[in-house]
Chains A and B, each alone.
Chain A
Amino acid sequence: MGGFGSALKKIFNQKRGHLVSAWKFRSHTILFSSSVVEDIDNDQQDEILFGTKTGEITCLTMQGMPKWKFNVHENLTETEMFFFDPESMNAINASPLVTDINNDGKKEVIFGSETGNVYCLNHFGQLLWKYKAESSIKGAVADFTLNGKSFLVFGSIDQHLYVLNSAGNMVWKIKAKSVIESTPCVMHDHILFGTDDGTLYCVDFKGNLLWGYKTKGKIIAQPVVEKLQGTDEYTVVVGSYDGYLYAFDMSGNLKWKFNAFGPIAEKVTLCDVNSDNKQEIFFGSCNNLIYALNCNGDKLWEYETNFWVVAPVIVADIDNDGRFEVIAGSYDNAVYVLDSEGKYDLDYVPGLSGVVQQAGHYTDIMTQDPGNVVGTKILDYQSDGIIVGMAYSQKNNVFIVNEKQGEVEALSFVEEKG
């Protein structure tokens, strides 16, 4: 539980240390999204995969050495070319999906591109098949299993949601009322996806509409579905560009919404950090804040960075002290490591100190408690560029940070001795 107990525990247990750069890989192009860290070839080692604006998928070892590279390199007709920005014609806008789609015991790499093609590569980076959608694909591809068979699902700028089988043939598609930039989320024969007119749709595995909910900004973040409350009931959590984080039950009834005061571009991260058997919710927003909420949508703490937080937030125990840390990359170039439970602000004396000013956050004057939980930075790391993606290798306790200007950097925690 929070409060004094954990505050004391923290004082005694918090290990001192910092993040150090293990290596840096320069892709010499623009990156839009996070890397995926996964052992794709069953060699017991994680690999790193990321897509670029120039249409390359690169596979790196955990040491930052290139394993292979695949370039989508589409040949368009002269007329078709007129419709694209020549610089981003082949762009891979989202993280690849890494999964064994064809049940051969090895993982495949699946992703869409600006030209509207979906590619499926084997773990050597060789093309198995590709499928052409009618228009650009901005989000990632998701997968699901039905009657023992694997399927892929993704949305397109052409407003369709496509479902393909594992051989890359279309099974069905449905048309939404607006552009689909989001990555779908699949849970228990429900497919959830957001559209640019702000609607969160829920359809079944045949594409029949189950429900929809309209927010006031576009939804490009991937919805997340999880048992939040420690019961068997699932909750859908998704952020919108209208600045709110929404929670629904599986029938589409709004459970709560939380005002984050800035567009939310990425999926939330869930983790029970205080062992209360309920999931806490972590996410960043474009009003520069990193938020922690409880499962009822109440704010636990917030922490303000100097610019947008677009990359997904990671929750992990990086210093191996038995407690979780929250790790977030910001457009302000920094990676922040925060205390996942925040810190009980003991400095606060009601009526005396008034507003306690700390960099980036404030406590309300009118609070009943003799203090407040505030977002607390343990350490930070200054990278060289805008952070657009964050991934984590648990095996190696290494963070893979993607910077817009093309750099992929590995960070690890080093404990300070003495």
Chain B
Amino acid sequence: MEIANITTRVKTYIQGLDDNMQGGIPQGHVTLVCGSAGTMKSSLCFNVLYNEAVNGKIGLYISLEQSAKSLLAHMANMGYDFNKINLVVIKDLGNLKKEIDALKASKKGTIIITDIGAIRKEIRDINVTSANAGWLNVIKNVARKIKMDVGFDHFVLDSMSALYVLSKFENPRIELFYIFEFMRDLGITSFLISEMPLDNSKYAEYDVEDYLADGIIYLRLTRFRRDVVREISIVKMRGTNCNNDVFSFEYKKGQFHALYGGQNPLL
């Protein structure tokens, strides 16, 4: 019996990588996308949501640090055609329902960007924000509401590191366990972006995220003489026979590529 064959997989849309991991990430997995600043973590995740949206799927992108405006400017520069999909930006929690209801009629796939920075500005005068669990609840409740109203398939949290600044975790091991369980219970495929320290000493803040996650994608900038090359590797992917080697990683003509061995122009 081949259990792996039954698994529905979500493509990473990185040419050369999906073939090395049985076609993609098993649906419902929680994957940690780790890397230091500028390693294209956000771009990689957005790319998955975009391509899935082109195929009619709904993705929720929660941005805690980068404003939706800056994120979309970056993505436009990368060459994405936003006419192919619905793009919804949530900047005010009071509008969430209206925005979601408007989606119900549409047949196109969608990316819903929730701009937590803008929401914070919007509700400065509401006092509930000092509650430790407050922002985590916001994220969970946004996800719950969207799940109930229109349903969604993919989830990106950008980033865990920013979440830790916003809600102080008293008991990270336990709280993170419940966050991961929450995402699994929603039945969505999740990408959690984790900003790594520059010395790359650990994948995430509390040393438990990597155990809790079903998969880890590691992005890196490596110096080769005077050149700096981008690299990508799958550190782990549960339920998947995958190649854990380090690939060169590049974005060309609207497509991510994972290049291997002889294909690497530098080697």
Contacts and interface: CB of A to CB of B under 8 A. Distances in A.
B170 interface: yes
Contacts of B126: 79-80, 83
Given A196-B170, A218-B170, A82 B130 contact: no
A135 B128 contact: yes
A2 to B, nearest CB: 39
Contacts of A80: 126, 128
A218 B132 CA distance: 14
B173 interface: no
A351 interface: no
A80 B141 CA distance: 11
B78 interface: no
A78 interface: yes
Chain A CB within 10 A, most for which of B94, B127, B128, B130? B128
A157 B137 contact: no
Contacts of A79: 92-94, 123, 126
A159 B130 CA distance: 9
Contacts of B183: none
Contacts of A418: none
B140 A83 contact: no
Given A135-B128, A158-B127, A196-B170, A82 B133 contact: no
Interface residues of A, number: 20
A136 B127 CA distance: 10
B229 interface: no
A364 interface: no
Chain B CB within 10 A, most for which of A83, A85, A196? A83
Nearest to B127: A134
Contacts of B141: 81-84, 86
A125 to B, nearest CB: 27
Contacts of B93: 78-79, 82
Nearest to A84: B137
A83 B138 contact: yes
B94 A85 contact: no
Interface in A149-176: 157-159
Contacts of B131: 83, 135-136, 157-158
B166 to A, nearest CB: 12
A179 interface: yes
Given A83-B137, A83-B138, A85-B137, A78 B94 contact: yes
A82 B142 contact: yes
Chain A CB within 10 A, most for which of B92, B93, B130, B135? B130
Interface string B117-150: 0000001001111111111011011101000000
Interface residues of B, number: 22
Contacts of A82: 93, 137-138, 141-142
Contacts of B134: 83
A85 B144 CA distance: 11
B74 interface: no
B238 interface: no
Interface string B7-20: 00000000000000
A158 B126 CA distance: 12
Nearest to A86: B141
A218 B123 CA distance: 30
Nearest to B135: A83
B97 interface: yes
Given A78-B94, A78-B97, A83 B128 contact: yes
A179 B167 CA distance: 12
A83 B134 CA distance: 5
A319 B92 CA distance: 63
A134 B141 CA distance: 21
Interface in A196-217: 196
Contacts of B94: 77-79
Nearest to A80: B128
B129 A83 contact: yes
Contacts of A84: 128, 137, 141
B126 to A, nearest CB: 6
B124 to A, nearest CB: 12
A244 to B, nearest CB: 18
Interface in A81-137: 81-86, 116, 134-136
Contacts of B132: 157, 179
B235 to A, nearest CB: 32
A80 B94 CA distance: 9
A77 B127 CA distance: 12
A86 B127 CA distance: 18
A158 B130 contact: yes
Nearest to A132: B127
Contacts of B129: 83
Interface in B74-98: 92-94, 97
Interface of A: 77-86, 116, 134-136, 157-159, 179, 196, 218
28 contacts: A78-B93, A78-B94, A79-B123, A79-B126, A82-B137, A82-B141, A82-B142, A83-B126, A83-B131, A83-B134, A83-B135, A83-B138, A83-B141, A85-B133, A85-B140, A116-B127, A116-B128, A134-B130, A135-B128, A135-B130, A135-B131, A157-B131, A157-B132, A158-B127, A158-B130, A159-B130, A179-B132, A196-B170
Given A85-B140, A179-B132, 5 more contacts: A79-B123, A80-B126, A83-B137, A157-B130, A158-B130
Interface of B: 92-94, 97, 123, 126-135, 137-138, 140-142, 144, 170
Query: Which 3 A-B pairs give the minimum distances between C-beta atoms?
Result: A134-B127, A83-B128, A83-B134
